[in-house]
A = this chain, B = another copy of it.
Amino acid sequence: MTDIGRKVWAIAEGYIPAGGLSGDPALKSHETACLLNPNDRDATVRITVFFSDREPCGPYVVKVPKQRTLHLRFNELKDPAPVPRDTDYASVIESDVPIVVQHTRLDSRDPAVAVLSTIAYAAE
């Protein structure tokens, strides 16, 4: 089987609410980049975060082993710096091996949980 995926992806939407009413960690507000590496080589992934009013931050570097998925919460990124809350951002995701990227958010600021998801933009 030939490789599945692309090496460069972009997510134009990004926003981590500062709060969230739920006490359940699984229901805490979070923003996720779901990374799938279905191929036969380990992937090194570099994420750059873009803002509306300041210089980009990154790269955040993560590994996605061959034939594994990593559902990466932007909330948990720490190096080189945490992603600020209540702030518009966007991201570019570059991998040395083709991967597939999907963007999901769970928002529990309101008493009712809301979720969204979309395939990311696969650059040429």
| Residues of A near any B CB (own CB < 8 A) | 2, 4-5, 8, 10-15, 17, 22, 26-27, 32, 34-36, 38, 48, 50-53, 55-56, 67-71, 86, 88-90, 92, 99-124
Interface contact A10-B100, CB-CB below 8 Å? yes
From A109, which residue of chain B is reached at the shortest CB distance? Answer: B27
Please state if B113 and A34 are interface contacts (CB–CB under 8 Å). no
CA distance A86 to B118 in the complex (A): 21
C-alpha gap A37/B123 in the complex (Å)? 13
Q: A38-B50, A51-B69, A67-B56 are in contact. Are A13 and B104 (CB under 8 A)?
A: yes
Q: Evaluate whether A105 and B112 lie within 8 angstroms (CB atoms) in the complex, with A4-B123, A13-B34, A50-B68 already known.
A: no
A67 to B27, CA, bound (A): 32
Complex partner residue of A116 from B104, B110, B111, B120, CB under 8 angstroms: B104
Bound CA–CA A99/B12 (angstroms) = 9
Out of B36, B108, B122, which one reaches A90, CB within 8 Å? B36
